[in-house]
Amino acid sequence: MASQLKAAVAGATGFSGCELTRLLLRHPGVDTPVLFRREAEGSGEKKPQDLAAMIPALSGHGPLPVHPFSWDALEKNGTELLFLATPHETSRSLVPEALTRGLRIIDLSGAWRLRRPEHREVYDFHDADPARAAALSEKAVYGLPELHSDCIRKAKLVANPGCYATSVILALAPLLRAELIDRERGIISDSKSGVSGAGKEATSKTHFVSVADNLSVYAPFRHRHVGEIVEQLGLQTEDLTFTPHLLPIPRGILSTVYVHLTHPSKTADIESCFTAFYKGRPWVRMFSAPTLPEIQFSLYTNYCDIGFCLDESTQRLIVVSCLDNLLKGAAGQAVQNMNLMYGWPEEEGLQ
């Protein structure tokens, strides 16, 4: 890699932004990124902070100054690619200007993931130019490499998928493409996430006292990732029952997905369906039945681990999908998308 990519991370102090910074610092194709706080952070503080001092795990790279967001700083650095690990509303407001300035963008928020207006309603966006925002929503590429790698390579705006959505979509896509799922009997996804999936800002529900030694359900029937899942899989909202749970662990996702099959299949048929669909996809790792993935297997990696169990007598199928919500569910997938956009192997900087 003769010349290094000039990149910047807005929102570098959050969980996903910090993971992304760590990955970019060791990526051979990327220069030391310019780092910005979330726009809402430190609005009265103009002096840069040292991310390495704030996050000691990043020590060893020298000072890592984190600045208030600035278009001038981006231009001065010659930035080509802007990562947004910012709140949804902030990303929604920054992207139009960034595209006007000729930047390519990978947005880790939910600002540009959804095509259907009825699904975007969950975010209650207030766009300065609604017509332009709607047009950008149509042009944004959903950044799931296993489904959209060709489009990602050419994209100006990549909407990095949600963590839950990644786990469920990858569990179901091969089966739906093969028309093996009986949609009329419904699809159930029972999904569980570590606390970092809720973001860095603490709430009463993510406080240690609430989470420790506990397991809780939240946002049944109305989680914002449902729109992503049904749009990407060509489902109707009523086809899917998605129930998220909060686990008393820092990171990781496990989705258990229940479906009925359309016609009699053997365990070998299901395994062949998955292995053929994900052939050549380096970050999906299939487990042969009866072995099932566990959260601990994929932690601190960019893998999505998938396994299944088929009851051949009733044609009920359970698919288990596990990933690290901060890596394949956020920062690692963002780097995987960057690799595609700039012609590098998908594994670059992620192994």
- Residue whose tokens read 């050549």: 280
Exactly one of 163, 273, 304, 322 is catalytic; name it: 163
Buried-state track 155-187, b at ≥16 Cβ within 10 A, e below 16: bbbbbbbbbbbbbbbbbbbbbbebebbebeeeb
Can you tell me the distance from the alpha carbon of 256 to that of 169, in angstroms, rounded to the nearest whole number? 12
Which residues lie below 8 Å from residue 114, measured CB to CB, with a gap of 6+? Answer: 120, 137, 227, 228, 231
Residue 225 within a domain? yes
Residue 313 within a domain? yes
Residue 131 within a domain? yes
**Based on the domain organization, do 154 and 27 belong to the same domain?**
yes
**Based on the domain organization, do 171 and 313 belong to the same domain?**
yes
Q: Which among 274, 259, 275 is positioned nearest to 315, based on CA atoms? A: 259
**Based on the domain organization, do 172 and 81 belong to the same domain?**
no
**Based on the domain organization, do 21 and 168 belong to the same domain?**
no
**Based on the domain organization, do 307 and 337 belong to the same domain?**
no
Buried-state track 313-333, b at ≥16 Cβ within 10 A, e below 16: eebebbbbbbbbbbbbbbbbb
Average pLDDT, the chain: 93
Question: What is the structure's pLDDT at 245?
Answer: 96
**285: number of Cβ within 10 Å:** 18
Residue 348 within a domain? no
pLDDT tens for each residue of 90-111: 999 999 999 999 999 999 999 9
Residue 308 within a domain? yes
Give residue 39's pLDDT band: very low, low, confident or very high (50, 70, 90).
low
Structural contact between residues 40 and 88, judged by C-beta atoms closer than 8 angstroms: no
pTM of the model: 0.94
Range of the domain at 290: 163-323
Residue 136 within a domain? yes
For residue 324, the SS3 value is: coil
pLDDT tens for each residue of 138-165: 999 999 999 999 999 999 999 999 999 9
**Based on the domain organization, do 272 and 146 belong to the same domain?**
no
- Active-site residue flag, 18: no
For the chain, what percentages of helix, strand and coil (3-state, to nearest 5) are there?
35, 20, 45
**Based on the domain organization, do 203 and 298 belong to the same domain?**
yes
Question: What is the structure's pLDDT at 44?
Answer: 54
**Based on the domain organization, do 11 and 136 belong to the same domain?**
yes
Structural contact between residues 295 and 253, judged by C-beta atoms closer than 8 angstroms: yes
Question: What is the structure's pLDDT at 31?
Answer: 96
Q: Tokens for 146? A: 């296993």
* CATH label of the domain that carries residue 153: 3.40.50.720
Q: Is the pLDDT of residue 38 over 60?
A: yes
**Based on the domain organization, do 12 and 156 belong to the same domain?**
yes
**Based on the domain organization, do 119 and 200 belong to the same domain?**
no
Say how many Å lie between the first and final Cα of the chain, rounded.
Answer: 17
Residue 351 within a domain? no
pLDDT tens for each residue of 1-28: 458 999 999 999 999 999 999 999 999 9
* CATH label of the domain that carries residue 303: 3.30.360.10
**Based on the domain organization, do 155 and 177 belong to the same domain?**
no
- Residue whose tokens read 């960034």: 98
**Based on the domain organization, do 185 and 315 belong to the same domain?**
yes
Residue 298 within a domain? yes
Indicate the number of domains in the chain. Answer: 2
Q: Is the pLDDT of residue 80 over 90?
A: yes
